[in-house]
């Protein structure tokens, strides 16, 4: 997560800035330049994943306008989505999206957003279960699965 926060992932726009002769288009949607912000917030592939996650948290659909806005969203707590759960969801979406991007680029494997969300859901449940005895995690399962 810290590498994405520092915008150090080797997205296509960064690879081009290093002199590589490749297409700048996103590996997942092929409709815009692949940058960190596009890939994790604006991509047509990622947006349905965010919509599913926000629906699970019983939050209105939101489109983050910037990376800073996304990071600010993770620090906010609400009745249905404590900050710790928001951070877990954000980290899981970023990791799964990057993994799918690499699968598409290197292995030509494409999984639909619904399938990716199912793996994110399982990852979040497993993460909460593994830490269920910690104070910050004791109630998170009820927020995520209810």
Say whether 59 sits in a helix, a strand or coil.
coil
In whole angstroms, what is the distance from residue 33 CA to residue 136 CA? 38
In whole angstroms, what is the distance from residue 146 CA to residue 142 CA? 6
Please check the confidence at residue 138 and state whether its pLDDT lies above 90: no
In whole angstroms, what is the distance from residue 35 CA to residue 103 CA? 17
Per-chain mean pLDDT for the chain = 95
CB 140 within 8 A of CB 127: no
User: What number is the average pLDDT over the span 47-66?
Assistant: 92
Q: The pTM is what?
A: 0.94
CB 63 within 8 A of CB 41: yes
Domain boundaries, the chain: 36-145
**Per-residue confidence (pLDDT) for residue 136, from 0 to 100:** 79
Which of 8-22, 102-116, 129-143 comes out lowest in average pLDDT? 129-143
**Per-residue confidence (pLDDT) for residue 18, from 0 to 100:** 96
pLDDT (tens digit per residue) in 101-112: 999 999 999 999
Q: Beta-carbon neighbour count of residue 145 at 10 Å?
A: 11
pLDDT (tens digit per residue) in 76-95: 999 889 999 999 999 999 99
In whole angstroms, what is the distance from residue 89 CA to residue 92 CA? 5
Q: Which residues contact 95 (CB under 8 A, 6 or more apart)?
A: 1, 123
């Amino acid at each position: 997560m810290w590498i994405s926060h520092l915008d150090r992932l080797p997205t296509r726009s960064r690879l081009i800035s290093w002199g590589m002769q490749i297409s700048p288009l996103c590996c997942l949607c092929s409709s815009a330049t692949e940058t960190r912000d596009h890939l994790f917030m604006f991509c047509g592939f990622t947006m349905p994943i965010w919509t599913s996650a926000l629906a699970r948290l019983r939050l209105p659909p939101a489109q983050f306008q910037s990376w800073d806005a996304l990071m600010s969203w993770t620090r906010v707590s609400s009745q249905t989505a404590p900050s710790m759960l928001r951070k877990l969801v954000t980290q899981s979406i970023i990791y799964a999206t990057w993994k799918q991007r690499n699968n598409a680029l290197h292995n030509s494997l494409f999984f639909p957003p619904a399938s990716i969300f199912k793996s994110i859901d399982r990852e979040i449940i497993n993460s909460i279960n593994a830490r269920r005895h910690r104070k910050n995690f004791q109630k998170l399962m009820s927020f995520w699965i209810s």
